[in-house]
Amino acid sequence: MSDAQKIAIYPGTFDPMTLGHLDVLKTSAAIFDEVVVALLVNPEKKPLFCEEERLAMIEESIREVCIVNVRTISFDGLTVELARREKAIAIIRGLRLITDYEAEFGISFNNHVLDSGIYTVFIPPLQEHVHVSSSMIRELLSFGRTDLSKYVPQAALKYISAYEYKDLRNR
């Protein structure tokens, strides 16, 4: 067996970070020597939270649950290229529902074509968080719902409570 560190990439927009994301991250950190949470910065998307806020949310959430073998980065471009650059053997994808699998399977296949040495590992969140998504959180916020403690880590709540939502529906 190789002594090389087993590194995985966990990419996403994390807008905002959810308890489901944290579930997937905890499991990933238990499996791999190092997990790189890779914040996707896509100029085509208009995220609710800026890059710096999302990175801070992720980093503070990681500290809250004391995961030590995780680091964060921002990236744009192809995830498989980032995985190559980080010497990762796997790309982590969280799966909540069968519809997630259908979408992720095609991406996984394409990544395998681009680099057959990088695997996609699908990890579900805990059952109590399977219905939680960042888009659901943003929708709840757009209707003025701010008690989101069942859905997001404390660190994310701090950013959510500081946010001005008056223009949220116009985004």
Active site residues: 21, 45, 96, 134
The residues, any chain, with a CB within 8 Å of residue 115's CB and separated by 6 or more, are: 80, 83, 84
Sign of the C-alpha dihedral, residues 106, 110, 111, 115? positive
What three-state secondary structure class fits 12?
Answer: strand
What distance in Å separates the CA atoms of residue 75 and residue 41, rounded to the nearest whole number? 6
Contact, 65 vs 22, CB < 8 A? yes
- CA quadruple 49, 51, 56, 62: dihedral sign: positive
Cα–Cα distance for residue pair 141/152, rounded to 1 Å? 12
Distances (CA, A) of 157 to 22, 40, 54: 14, 21, 12
